[in-house]
């Protein structure tokens, strides 16, 4: 653990980190632009799902947020200001999970219970109820930890542990619906239980990929800026020569 | 990596404990030991909203899905009421004296946004709030039609099973609407807004060829389609 990776392995890691950063930046640009080109849908999302009832404020958010996503994507692609971008990533990921958790837990947790049941993952009522009861609050908990910067890598690991299987079951359900209806896969729209209502499956998968990459990025030790207690356990000293994951070395 | 795993395990344990505590403290929290889905609970092999979608490929399979639904209801000792039967029940003169009643199995928010005129509200997730209101009507009615949203929603059949088993309604009296309120609205039938017998009626005209609830429809309210997939 304490030794530096071999040069060949390091080059491979650097390349993987670079590709991951480009993918993340590209996905942010894609998601931002898709909202720019579908302003009415995004405005509806802001008003109904984010519950921003004030017309002026909702319009402002609907007009500005997609461009912020695009801007963030461009910054990621460029590799500028790695600490600041990692901080934004941590806050963004934390905020998304707090929102998604609360929208499932309140005010109608039974909706989430029904959606979990549709995936047909568990049969016993106790297990089904436990998942539907605890998962939303657990997401809120992890989101709060990320927002304040406590146990960041542990929280990111938990988010990854939730996101990977969840993304797989969404993909599987999208395939099943496409097979039954004869729709193209990306034309399938359903409520996946993600807390944002009905979504197009490809858009949801892109969003989940973003969340997965952000969680992986934090797991690799980024996002220390303005964190209250980044690690609960003593960290091993990092070799000075080790490159920054996902980001190019600071100039 | 070892530190991350330890930290993750700690977050998992503390987070799970807090999550269960939050659910227990929440007034809308779920009861862990309760079976919210009584009955055979065999899911229909249909995507969201299939039974209420009358367009294209979906319509080709609607009949077979209704057959599957009918079989499932029969297994639970319930009877399926198709669109025509539901309309017959609505025009039945006995409805005026609560000889035939409709039971809306959605939540109060959606009920108030629009329901079959005169229907009683019974949110099965919070039966304690509604049981006293529906008890007498259920016991005296000769026929009871349960409905929810349509599509994959099975709240109506679970509500029917719950009431049948808890207050002893004979199964011969119980019917479950296959198309639910969505089909009702799509067919342009009257919708009552607000509380029961409010007198605020509206008619929804079906949109040409779409089979969907028309624009400007006040039913279902925002969030019904997105948060609840329902029959």
Q: Is A1 exposed, middle or buried (0-12, 13-18, 19+ CB in 10 A)?
A: exposed
Q: Please report, for chain B, how many H helices and E strands are present, in that order.
A: 8, 7
Taking the Cβ of residue B225 and every Cβ of chain A, the question of whether any pair is shorter than 8 Å is answered with yes
Instruction: Say if the Cβ atoms of B33 and A1 lie within 8 Å.
Output: no
pLDDT computed for residue B171 by the predictor: 87
Please tell me the predicted confidence (pLDDT) of residue A61: 93
Ramachandran angles phi, psi of B190, nearest 5°: -65, 145
pLDDT beyond 80 at A246: no
Q: B residues 120-159 near A, CB within 8 Å? A: 125, 152
Q: Contacts of residue A138 in chain B, CB cutoff 8 Å?
A: 15-16, 18-19
Please give the pLDDT value at position B57.
45
- For residue A194, pLDDT beyond 60: yes
Query: For chain B, what is the largest distance between any 2 Cα atoms, rounded to a whole number of angstroms?
Result: 73
Angle at A32 between CA A29 and CA A36, to 5 degrees: 130
What pLDDT score was predicted for residue B35?
87
**A250: burial class by Cβ within 10 Å (0-12, 13-18, 19+)?**
exposed
Compute the Cα dihedral for A180, A184, A189, A193 and give only its sign: positive
Percent of chain B residues past pLDDT 90, beyond the cut:
45
pLDDT for B45? 47
The C-alpha atoms of residue A84 and residue A222 are separated, in whole angstroms, by: 10
Q: Is B49 left (phi over 0), alpha (psi -120 to 50) or beta?
A: left
Contact B100, B92 (CB under 8 A): yes
Touching A: B residues 161-220, CB under 8 Å: none
Kindly list the residues from chain B whose CB atom is less than 8 angstroms away from the CB atom of residue A219: 4
pLDDT bracket for residue B202 (50, 70, 90) = confident
Strand runs labelled E in chain A: 189-191, 198-200
Q: Which residue has the higher pLDDT, B227 or A52?
A: A52
* A142 has pLDDT over 50: yes
| Least confident residue range of A233-247, B148-162, B167-181 | A233-247
Mean pLDDT score, A140-165: 95
Average pLDDT of chain A to the nearest whole number:
87
In A, minimum Cα distance to B59 occurs at A181
Residue B225 has pLDDT above 80, yes or no: no
**pLDDT at residue A11 in the model:** 83
Tell me what percent of the residues of chain A surpass a pLDDT of 90.
Answer: 53
Identify the pLDDT of residue B56: 44
Q: Is the CB of A191 less than 8 angstroms away from the CB of B11?
A: no
- Residue B79: pLDDT over 70: yes
Is the pLDDT reported for residue B223 higher than 50? no
Task: Using the structure block, give the residue that is written with the tokens 């007009």.
Answer: A63
Between chains, do B2 and A1 touch, taking CB under 8 Å as contact? yes
Q: Which residues of A touch B107 (CB under 8 A)?
A: 108
pLDDT reading at A95 higher than 80: yes
> With an 8 Å Cβ cutoff, are B3 and A113 in contact?
no
**Least CA distance to A137: which residue of chain B?**
B19
Which residues from chain A sit within 8 angstroms of residue B18, using beta carbons?
137-138, 141
DSSP state string for B134-189? HHHHHHH-SEEEEE-SSTT--HHHHHHHHHHHHH---GGGEEEESSHHHHHHHTT-
Q: CA–CA distance from B132 to each of B54, B109, B116, B121, B167 (Å)?
A: 37, 19, 20, 11, 11
| φ and ψ of B83, to 5 deg | -55, -45
The mean pLDDT of chain B is: 79
Overall pTM surpassing 0.90 (yes/no): no
- Separation in Å, CA of B166 to nearest CA in chain A: 19
Q: Worst-scoring range by mean pLDDT, A40-54, A120-134, B144-158, B206-220?
A: B206-220
| Residue B178 near residue B81, CB atoms below 8 Å | yes
Please write the tens of the pLDDT for every residue from B33-49.
988 888 765 555 444 44
pLDDT of A169 over the 70 cut: yes
Q: Taking residues A224-228, what's their average pLDDT?
A: 88
Residue B54 binned pLDDT confidence (cut-offs 50, 70, 90): very low
pLDDT digits (tens, 9 = 90+) for B91-141: 999 999 999 999 999 999 899 999 999 999 999 888 888 999 899 999 999
Q: Is the pLDDT of residue B230 over 50?
A: no
Share of chain A above pLDDT 70, in %: 91
- pLDDT at residue A208 is higher than 50: yes
Q: Which residues make beta-bridge pairs with B102?
A: B145
pLDDT at B7 over 60: yes
Q: Which positions ≥6 away from B123 have C-beta within 8 Å? A: B105, B106, B107, B108, B111, B129, B130
| Residue ranges covered by each domain of chain A | 1-80, 81-232
What pLDDT does residue B228 have? Answer: 38
Please, are residues A125 and B33 in contact by the beta-carbon 8 Å criterion?
yes
**Tell me, what's the pLDDT at A163?**
95
Q: Is B79 on the interface with A (CB under 8 A)?
A: no
d(CA B51, CA B63): 9
pLDDT at B41: 54
Q: Looking at this predicted complex, what is its ipTM?
A: 0.84
Please give the DSSP secondary-structure letter assigned to residue B95: G
Q: Looking at the complex, report in whole angstroms how far the Cα of residue B8 sits from the nearest Cα belonging to chain A.
A: 4
Which backbone phi and psi does A238 adopt, to 5 degrees?
A: -90, 140
Query: How many other β-carbons are positioned within 10 Å of the β-carbon of residue A47?
Result: 19
As given in the structure block, the two tokens for residue A218 are 């934090």
Q: Report the C-alpha gap between A110 and A41 in whole angstroms.
A: 26
In which band, very low, low, confident or very high, does the pLDDT at B63 lie, cut at 50, 70 and 90? low
Domain B70-227 has CATH 3.40.250.10: yes
């Amino acid at each position: 653990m304490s030794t530096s990776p071999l040069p060949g392995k390091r080059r491979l890691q650097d390349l993987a980190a670079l590709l991951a950063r480009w993918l993340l930046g590209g996905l942010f640009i894609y998601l931002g632009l898709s909202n720019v080109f579908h302003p009415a849908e995004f405005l509806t999302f802001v008003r109904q799902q984010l519950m921003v009832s004030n017309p002026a404020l909702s319009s402002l958010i609907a007009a500005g947020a997609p461009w912020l996503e695009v801007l963030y994507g461009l910054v990621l692609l460029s590799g500028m200001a790695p600490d600041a971008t990692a901080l934004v990533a941590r806050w963004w990921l934390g905020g998304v999970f707090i929102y998604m958790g609360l929208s499932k837990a309140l005010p109608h947790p039974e909706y989430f219970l029904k959606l979990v049941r549709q995936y047909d993952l568990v049969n016993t009522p106790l297990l089904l109820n436990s998942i539907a009861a605890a998962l939303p609050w657990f997401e809120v908990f992890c989101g709060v930890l990320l927002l304040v910067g406590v146990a960041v890598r542990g929280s990111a690991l938990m988010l990854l542990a939730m996101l990977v299987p969840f993304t797989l079951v969404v993909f599987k359900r999208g395939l099943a619906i496409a097979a039954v209806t004869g729709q193209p896969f990306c034309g399938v729209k359903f409520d996946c239980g993600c807390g944002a209502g009905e979504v197009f499956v490809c858009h949801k998968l892109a969003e989940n990929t973003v969340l997965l990459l952000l969680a992986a990025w934090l797991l690799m030790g980024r996002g220390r800026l303005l964190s209250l207690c980044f690690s609960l356990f003593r960290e091993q000293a990092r070799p000075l020569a080790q490159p920054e994951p996902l980001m190019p070395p600071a100039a | 990596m070892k530190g991350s795993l330890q930290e993750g395990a700690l977050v998992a344990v503390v987070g799970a404990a807090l999550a269960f505590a939050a659910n227990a403290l929440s007034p809308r929290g779920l009861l862990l030991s309760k079976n919210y889905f009584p009955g055979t609970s065999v899911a229909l092999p249909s995507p969201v909203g299939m039974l209420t979608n009358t367009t294209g490929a979906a319509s080709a399979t609607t009949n077979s899905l209704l057959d599957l639904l009918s079989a499932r209801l029969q297994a639970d000792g319930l009877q399926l009421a198709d669109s025509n039967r539901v309309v017959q029940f609505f025009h039945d003169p006995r409805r005026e004296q609560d000889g035939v009643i409709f039971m809306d199995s959605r939540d109060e928010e959606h009920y108030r946004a629009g329901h079959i005129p005169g229907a009683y509200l019974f949110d099965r997730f919070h039966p304690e709030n509604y049981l006293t209101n529906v008890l007498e009507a259920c016991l005296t009615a000769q026929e009871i039609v349960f409905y929810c949203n349509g599509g994959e929603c099975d709240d109506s059949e679970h509500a029917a099973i719950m009431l049948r088993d808890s207050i002893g309604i004979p199964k011969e009296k119980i019917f479950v609407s296959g198309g639910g309120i969505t089909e009702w609205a799509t067919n342009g039938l009257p919708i009552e807004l607000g509380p029961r017998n409010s007198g605020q009626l509206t008619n929804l005209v079906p949109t040409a060829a779409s089979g969907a609830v028309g624009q400007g429809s006040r039913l279902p309210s925002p969030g019904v389609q997105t948060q609840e997939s329902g029959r």
